[in-house]
Amino acid sequence: MPPIRKVGIKQQRVAVVGGGLSGVTAALELSAKGYEVTLYEAGDTLLSRMRAMGEDLLPQAVIDADLEPLEKLGVQVKLQTLISFNGGDCGIAELIEKFDAVYMGCGQPFDAEWQNLLAKDNLNRIQIDPLTYATSHARVFGGGTLRYSPAPYSPITSIQEGRYAAVSVDRYLQGASLLAGRENEGLCTSKLYTDISGYEPTPEVKASSADGHYSREEAQQEAVRCFPCSCMECVKTCEYLKEYGSYPKRYVREIYNNLCIVMGTRNLNKMINSCSLCGLCEVRCPEHVSMAEICLDARQTMVETQKMPVSAHEFALRDMAFSASDSFAMARHQPGHSSSAALFFPGCQLSASSPEHVQSCYEFLCASEPGGIGLVLGCCGAPALWAGRKDLFDASMQQLEATWTRMGKPRIITACSSCFRTLKEAKPEIQVQSLWPHLNHEELLRGKGNDNSTPYAIHDPCSTRGVEEVEGGARDLLRGMGVLPLELNPRGETTCCGYGGLACFVNPELTARTIQRRAAESTADFITYCAMCRDSFARQGKRALHVLDLIFPEGNDDAAARKDPGYSGRQENRARLKKTMLERLWKEGQTAVKKATSVHIPEEIVALMERRMILREDVCTTIEHAELTGEKMMIPGNGHLLACYRPACVTYWVEYAPANDTFDVFNVYSHRMQVR
């Protein structure tokens, strides 16, 4: 028996009648809670039924050791004291008068006398509540084996009843509800799901003794048949849930505790921000528990209460701000049209990954769709939503809705699964369509693909899991090109590439393992219809291509080997797309942009910048600031200059040296923190 310690001293007194397992358990529990407990037993020893099992089965020394806490906790034990309804050493009415609560845990003999309680206390015809063990007399609680009579005696049941009765007595004495939160106590249907498909059943081990008791060897053999009953279905398929070595029920409790911290270190911030919010856990969970909803709600709560550091998602939100700025955002009706039947909204990630595909898609839509197709460049605001920044997300939605209204409220055609889902959920009044059915034209697809000579494994983006218009539409395109991709998993059970929920910015190591685990599921090249998924796989060295690589091939390049543009390249691609589209289709020139500082950055430093989420623009701005203000230091020994600059909440450091008309960069790093 584990050690039991008193948690405090209370004034109330409790009488426990019956020195069996039920009564002893209740006495221990209530004494540990600080009550003064007196235990009455009619016999000359406690746990007589257990002692009768025999020395071989249950040694007396073990029983005596388990009873030692009674003395340590100060429980008064009165042996050979019969509590009776009529006569005896002490009457029930006397106990009710003397104690604040009475627990009758004396089992079957008590059952026969139960209807004969003293009439003067109005206790005749008393009944026991099957859940709380309360009776029609407020101070009296009844247990023992009463609830399960005439079921066979069970030591486990007796201990259970003693514990449950102690909870009820404690709640009664504190004036609390006896029923609240106790729905699953006692006999109930467990929600625990355990997959036993991988286990072969083994025959039951029968006890050889006449009394049905196992020998030590038989008990061990029977115990071997048991395996740990645990669900863990979500943990088996999610690298994030596995990362922190536990399971959702415990994570929920820890997240709640993290939210409740007023002052001190919130150690779970990184854990809360590392979830990709993909929702696969809810799909795999038999009870449909969603860690995505829990983590997102926690982020929003922490942002609203100023408990989430701004630096946690600073880089992603700054990238979103770039997409909403004049550098990328624009809205135009199709050239030659004053209205639009639909708007093509490619999203910020496809535009950043392969701007040429955005151009090709838009030109095809303009040629094939009647009524005019407008073009809207920008971001749907998903990064702000994932970061818990509801204020920024609402502002993004308002801006997008204002653009949609100004353009005549047409339907919107999206090329991005995240945009599709975000708009569908946030603005149900807007008719949102997937791009893929609009590209399903025989003349466009003829001669494309590879007649299935090269196998592709299809990866579905998690944001449109189970949406037939998107998942089915992409597969229809592939079939139209003669491509029959390998299915990595059942439809609706795709994993996340790590970009969802901004997990890649918070926990890049975990994201890398998530992608590598997915990539290892097939040796075939991956094909997807999400730009971020494709680039995430490419970043980890997995050959992957976008479905648009087959429909609109660019030159003779090996599309599956196309590199991720990198963070700086992604912003440059967006800005270049807007400039090209305005000049090429609308014949609009853009205002000349000030020439950036010329820098030379070696490839190994570029790779370092990617890992540390530092843009080329950040490096140039830091050098410009140092050269303009003179705020720089010389590093002894190599003559290099060291400069820092903090444009917002991130401090950038650059080690550099002037070289003719440019600057050579030798090292970069940053501090993403807020000092108060």
- The string over 157-167, giving b where at least 16 C-beta atoms fall within 10 Å of a residue's C-beta and e elsewhere, is bbbbbbbbbbb
Query: Region 522-533: what's the mean pLDDT?
Result: 96
- Nearby residues of 68 by Cβ (< 8 Å), 6 or more positions away: none
pLDDT at 7: 58
Encode 61-83: b = buried (16+ Cβ within 10 Å), e = exposed: eeeeeebebbeebebebeeebeb
Residue 676's Cβ-side half-sphere holds a number of Cα atoms within 13 Å equal to 4
The pLDDT, as a whole number, for residue 151 is 57
Q: Report CA-CA distances (Å) from 462 to 8, 435, 500.
A: 52, 17, 8
Counting residues of the chain whose pLDDT is more than 70, the rounded percentage is 91
Q: Token pair for residue 450?
A: 């590879």
CATH class of 13-174: alpha beta
What are the DSSP calls for 623-655, one per residue? HHHHHHH---EEPTTT--EEEEE-SSSEEEEEE
- Most confident listed range (79-93, 145-159, 505-519): 505-519
**218 vs 333, more confident:** 333
Q: What is the pLDDT of residues 95-137, one digit of tens each?
A: 999 999 999 987 544 444 444 443 444 444 557 887 888 988 8
**What does DSSP say about strands 373-377 and 330-332: parallel, antiparallel, or unpaired?**
antiparallel
Assign domain 318-434+568-573 one CATH number from 3.30.700, 3.40.50, 1.20.120, 3.40.1010.
3.40.50
pLDDT in tens, 180-206: 988 777 677 888 888 888 788 889 998
Nearest to 605 by CA among 654, 539, 538: 654
DSSP annotation of 134 reads B
User: Three-state DSSP class for 54?
Assistant: coil
- Where are the strands (E) in 348-410, listed by range? 373-377
User: So what's the pLDDT on residue 439?
Assistant: 97
Q: For the CA atoms of 164, 166, 172, 178, what is the dihedral angle to 10 degrees? A: -10
- pLDDT tens column, 486-498: 999 998 899 998 8
Please determine, for residue 262, whether its predicted confidence score (pLDDT) is greater than 60: yes
Q: How far is it, in rounded angstroms, from Cα 621 to Cα 650?
A: 13
- C-alpha to C-alpha distance for 606 and 608, rounded to whole angstroms: 5
CB 673 within 8 A of CB 311: yes
Per-residue confidence (pLDDT) for residue 57, from 0 to 100:
80
Q: How many angstroms separate the CA atoms of 515 and 486, rounded?
A: 18
Written as six digits, the tokens of 225 are: 């048949």
